[in-house]
Chain A
């Protein structure tokens, strides 16, 4: 069996990993299936009587604008999960490349890249994002995703660089060089595949971070723009009816909590599984 397959199997063997996978799979199913079985998340069937409690017709109730909360949570899952997936893929990709080059090339390349990363890491990510997103009046979704992705790779690059510094001294890398393998082959066939364990851990934990970040920014009005449903935006919109219609904010909050928890559980399980001492 391939090492990657073995890793995934090891995650499933762990209770925390299994719970995480099940919860995340349920979220993804809801996000994908939602539009086909649920009412439109932006339909306002009864604008006069919004904020209805959960019922058979609306299992999570309706919000202040009489929109179906379940449909909006599912729609929010679609947005939040895809934003998280794309942004994390971006930051992991950029971080892996920067770390790989810095670690492999060493010397001046490494010193310059890592000092820049140090500087970027010294500024809280939320501030960086607020600064970036303030440039737009109405933030397009693409801009939002790119901004989140572009501010998330610093830690990953450090992580990968550290791994690469260790791995590049290994005898199989020396063997590849002795065979005449060039830098590209050594970086992408020998170094990167062996740094994939920590990278996967960083990615899953990153998903949780991005969902929280997206919720926070949407709550501040700097995230996903209405009427597109997003979990943070829903909580923001429902703050005025927090007492009279708590379901309108509780359910999206629950969705955030569960998803972040699931991502972290999978990340922890991956970390344990990737640790050679547990093998």
Chain B
């Protein structure tokens, strides 16, 4: 990419400290531990990882819904983390978020129209008949009947609610949207519809997405690039095609092996990781993945030395032995 990226995140760190005056001093939860990436205009970067790996914290911190511990996020030339009150308000028009939970993300006491109109009222983009007209147009754009504006969220299905959430985000005409697992709570058939809608909107409006998911199958059709997160760090990143065709980090390989294969004849080994995600308040030293790694070459070095992200074939991977595919190595062994 030659042009200036829309968003550059550098060394983002987010620790959560156990609260309370009387609570004993406990080590902080290292939700995000030095994450860097960039997103170009009109591009989608997928952030993939299992629950608790810190991917949602990344999304929320970039939007300043949470304050970062350290790091920077340069969006359209300014560092989001250093913005004062008013510039931050202005920024809210440029960046938006779509949430995972179609039930929790809409205020049950607000009509659909009021929810979609809220952003335009906050930023004084429209009022009166013009506001109503814009709400109707937005509902239509996300594939809903404009007459739904007068109804309440509980009258709608999960997929419809997700569309309402998308319309609400689009109302302020953002250029960048954090999609925080927008389809994880939906049925597979509805997932595809919402993904198609997001792709259409991206094309029509030139949007950029940070698409957060725990499932590589979902991001395959929407993302140009993928970053895989594990325990607060990016362990592998690269173009979607390359990363899915030839993943180099054992964790990516394990994630990929969990994706259902459409062709029942295809043989692929299912890698089952043993053990749980280590506690993010007490992450293992060295490579964060070493406690669950199945790479035949894993050794003392993995337990002591943190592997940096480095270019392997096609992707960047944070594994000392990424040149040797862990999956191929165990399959070759008797």
Chain A positions near chain B (C-beta within 8 angstroms): 1-3, 111, 170-172, 174-181, 185, 189-190, 193-194, 196
Contacts and interface: CB of A to CB of B under 8 A. Distances in A.
B172 A179 contact: yes
Cβ-closest 10 pairs across A and B: A180-B92, A171-B105, A193-B109, A179-B119, A172-B107, A171-B99, A171-B104, A180-B89, A180-B122, A178-B97
Contact of A178 (B63, B100, B115): B63
B267 to A, nearest CB: 41
Interface string B86-98: 0001001101110
A148 B60 CA distance: 45
Contact of B118 (A171, A176, A193, A194): A176
Nearest to B104: A171
Given A178-B95, A196-B109, 7 more contacts: A2-B152, A170-B104, A172-B104, A180-B89, A180-B172, A181-B122, A193-B107
Q: Is the interface of A mostly helix, strand, loop or mixed?
A: helix
A190 B119 CA distance: 14
B65 A171 contact: no
Interface residues of B, number: 31
B255 to A, nearest CB: 26
Contacts of A181: 118, 122
A3 B172 CA distance: 27
Given A180-B92, A189-B110, A193-B109, A175 B99 contact: yes
Given A171-B99, A174-B99, A178-B63, A3 B92 contact: no
Question: Considering residues A3, A180, A181, which has the most beta carbons from chain B within 10 angstroms of its beta carbon?
Answer: A180
A194 B109 contact: yes
A1 B165 CA distance: 21
B214 interface: no
Interface of B: 21, 60, 63, 65, 89, 92-93, 95-97, 99-101, 104-110, 115, 118-119, 122-123, 152, 154, 165, 168-169, 172
A174 B65 contact: yes
Nearest to B154: A3
Contact of A194 (B65, B92, B107): B107
Question: Considering residues B99, B118, B119, which has the most beta carbons from chain A within 10 angstroms of its beta carbon?
Answer: B118
B152 A178 contact: no
B180 to A, nearest CB: 9
Contacts of A174: 60, 65, 97, 99
A178 B172 CA distance: 11
19 contacts: A1-B152, A2-B152, A3-B108, A3-B152, A3-B154, A111-B21, A171-B100, A172-B107, A174-B65, A175-B99, A176-B107, A178-B92, A179-B168, A180-B92, A180-B93, A180-B123, A190-B107, A190-B110, A193-B109
B237 to A, nearest CB: 25
Given A3-B152, A180-B123, A175 B165 contact: yes
Nearest to B90: A180
Nearest to A170: B104
Contacts of A177: 65
Contacts of B152: 1-3
A196 B63 CA distance: 30
A2 B112 CA distance: 12
Contacts of A193: 107, 109-110
Contact of A179 (B21, B60, B105, B122): B122
B92 A179 contact: yes
B105 A175 contact: yes
Contacts of A180: 89, 92-93, 119, 122-123, 172
Contacts of B63: 178
Contacts of A185: 122
A193 B107 CA distance: 9
A111 to B, nearest CB: 8
Nearest to B120: A179
A177 B118 CA distance: 11
Contacts of B93: 180
A190 B122 CA distance: 14
A111 B109 CA distance: 29
A179 B118 contact: yes
A107 to B, nearest CB: 10
Contacts of B110: 189-190, 193
A228 B43 CA distance: 76
Contacts of A196: 109
Contacts of A171: 99-101, 104-105
Contacts of B95: 178
A2 B241 CA distance: 49
Contacts of B169: 175, 178
Contacts of B96: 178-179
A176 B168 CA distance: 10
Contacts of B168: 175, 179
